[in-house]
Amino acid sequence: MRLKKDQKAQAILQAAIKMFAEKGYHQTKITEIADTANVAHGTVYTYFKNKEDLLYNMISKLWEKLSLTLEEISNNPDLDPLQKVQKMVDAVFDVFTSDSKLGLVVIKEHNQLRKKGMDASVGEYEHLLNSFSHTFEQGVAEGFFDPTIDPDTFLHFVFGGLSQLIHRWANDPRSLNIQKVKEQSKYFVQQSLIKG
């Protein structure tokens, strides 16, 4: 059965995710990605410039999804600031763990692009920071959150911790009960923000 144009691009992307997760970015060859996607080797270059472009594409799409999800949560008028923060932590875990191979590739291989001066997440991370800051400001205004906390520092600190937990889980999903880790993370984040 022949794949349609957009299906081919998606098949190639999924094959790249699989191969990068199993072998690593540097060890994977375009020919292996094409074979796994069941397309001709030259077809990969019809949709993607090179391996770097494949990696950039998968990372930027994941970050875009996370960024948009956090913006939706931040703008939800039916949630108070504490509920928003809980849903934001859930969203971070969910976007990385819904596809463990993609989550592993993004966490392990993102620095390959950064070393070359390409950051597939920089714009989305700023967007994410704005969504959190908006929620934080609402929480301060409504008396939920400690106004002495710097939201930028707090978010970098928290996201670093969440990334480490997700990385550990992605490397060995049996090493962590991800649901328990998610619930404890929400508790720690919430407690550290609450006004004393």
In the block, tokens 């509920």 appear at 83
Alpha-carbon dihedral sign for residues 66, 67, 70, 71: negative
Three-class DSSP category at 145? strand
Partners of 194 in beta bridges: 145
d(CA 105, CA 116): 17
* Confidence (pLDDT) at 5: 64
User: Can you tell me whether residue 194 is helix, strand or coil?
Assistant: strand
Do the two domains 1-48 and 55-193 of this chain adopt the same fold? no
Whole-angstrom Cα distance, residue 152 to residue 34?
42
- Of the CA atoms within 13 Å of residue 131, those in its CB half-sphere come to 25
Write down the CATH number for the domain with range 1-48.
1.10.10.60
CA geometry: angle at 126 spanning 158 and 97, to 5°? 50
Listed by start position, the domains of the chain span 1-48, 55-193
- 73 and 91 Cβ atoms separated by less than 8 Å: yes
Select 55-193's CATH number: 1.10.240.10, 3.90.1150.10, 2.40.10.10, 1.10.357.10.
1.10.357.10
Q: First vs last Cα of the chain: how many Å apart?
A: 63
- pLDDT tens profile 78-121: 999 999 999 999 999 999 888 888 888 888 887 777 777 777 77
Give residue-wise pLDDT tens across range 144-196.
999 999 988 998 898 889 888 888 887 788 888 989 999 999 999 999 999 77
Closest CA to 158 of 92, 106, 100, 111: 92
- Tell me if 162 sits within 8 A of 93, measured CB to CB: yes
pLDDT range class, residue 13, cuts 50, 70, 90: very high
Indicate the pTM of the whole model: 0.85
